[in-house]
């Protein structure tokens, strides 16, 4: 099935370039374009796309607030932040708002398409250029606990699930988790899936945030 995409960027040239890029991809379909965050929220309500490719800085409602409203709504739409701004406060703010990925506009075009597919599949993606800085920054950021009864849920997970959550917080993939814990990749995936359910997390990014907020991982350095 084709991944349905909304493009949200206040620069027409950027939207046009992304639209042309995705038109040439047989598994991606652009169903709407927005020049503001408010327009992006409206288009999600009208089209229920799989992914919104979202700029951060737009007039009126910015991409972070638009992401917060989209992910708080009934739609299952996921948000991929695509911007030229890779400062820590933008990365953290976007992910806390519910974004499933963060990429920068100077990535190779094929990598941008891959990012859309990864996010659509339910995985999290953060551009390699900002991953390490983000993980360290999450641990230092003040802010409210993860919404819901996450603390009680963390206290209720098994010891093995706690180990898996700690490794996810360190940025480890399922394959790396399996190697570290001497279990199969399928078993690692099952543990991660149960963590999604128990913690009410949308994706892997939220597990990373939870691991740091609950003190399971300490900042490097």
What pLDDT score does 122 carry? 74
What pLDDT score does 145 carry? 46
Candidates 30, 113, 90, 110; CA nearest to 102 is 90
What pLDDT score does 144 carry? 45
What pLDDT score does 134 carry? 59
Q: Which CATH class is domain 144-213?
A: mainly alpha
Q: Which residue ranges does the chain devote to CATH 1.10.10.10?
A: 144-213
Q: Which residue has the higher pLDDT, 46 or 213?
A: 46
Percent of the chain with pLDDT over 70: 81
The mean per-residue pLDDT over the stretch 195-219 comes to: 78
Q: What is the pLDDT of residues 113-125, one digit of tens each?
A: 988 988 888 766 6
* pLDDT interval class at 103 (50, 70, 90): confident
**CATH fit for domain 3-139, picks 3.40.50.2300, 3.30.479.30, 3.40.50.10860, 3.40.30.10:** 3.40.50.2300
* pLDDT interval class at 147 (50, 70, 90): very low
Q: Which two tokens stand for residue 195?
A: 């963590």
* pLDDT interval class at 50 (50, 70, 90): very high
Candidates 44, 41, 45, 2; CA nearest to 22 is 2
The number of angstroms, rounded, from the C-alpha of 167 to the middle of its chain's C-alpha atoms is 18
Rg (CA), the chain: 17
Q: In sequence order, what are the residues at sequence separation of 6 or more whose Cβ sits closer than 8 angstroms to the Cβ of residue 126?
A: 91, 95, 101, 102, 103, 134, 205
The mean per-residue pLDDT over the stretch 41-54 comes to: 96
Q: Which two tokens stand for residue 30?
A: 């652009």
Q: Indicate whether 181 pLDDT > 50.
A: yes
Q: Which residue ranges does the chain devote to CATH 3.40.50.2300?
A: 3-139
Candidates 140, 121, 107, 126; CA nearest to 171 is 126
């Amino acid at each position: 099935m084709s991944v349905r995409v909304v493009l949200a960027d206040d620069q027409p040239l950027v939207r046009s370039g992304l639209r042309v890029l995705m038109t040439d991809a047989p598994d991606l379909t652009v169903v709407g374009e927005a020049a503001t965050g408010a327009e992006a929220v409206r288009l999600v309500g009208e089209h229920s796309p799989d992914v919104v490719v979202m700029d951060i800085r737009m007039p009126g409602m910015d991409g972070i607030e638009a992401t917060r409203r989209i992910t708080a709504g009934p739609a299952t739409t996921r948000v991929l932040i695509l911007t030229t701004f890779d400062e820590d406060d933008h990365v953290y703010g976007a992910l806390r708002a519910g974004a499933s990925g963060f990429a920068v506009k100077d990535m190779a075009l094929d990598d941008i398409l891959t990012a859309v597919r990864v996010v659509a599949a339910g995985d999290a993606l953060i551009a390699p250029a900002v991953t390490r800085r983000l993980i360290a920054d999450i641990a230092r950021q003040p802010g409210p606990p993860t919404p819901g009864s996450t603390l009680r849920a963390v206290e209720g997970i098994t010891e093995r699930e706690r180990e898996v959550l700690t490794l996810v917080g360190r940025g480890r993939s399922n394959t790396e988790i399996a190697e570290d814990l001497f279990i199969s990749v399928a078993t690692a995936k099952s543990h991660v899936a149960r963590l999604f359910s128990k913690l009410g997390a949308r994706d892997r990014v939220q597990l990373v945030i939870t691991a740091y907020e609950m003190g399971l991982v300490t900042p490097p350095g």
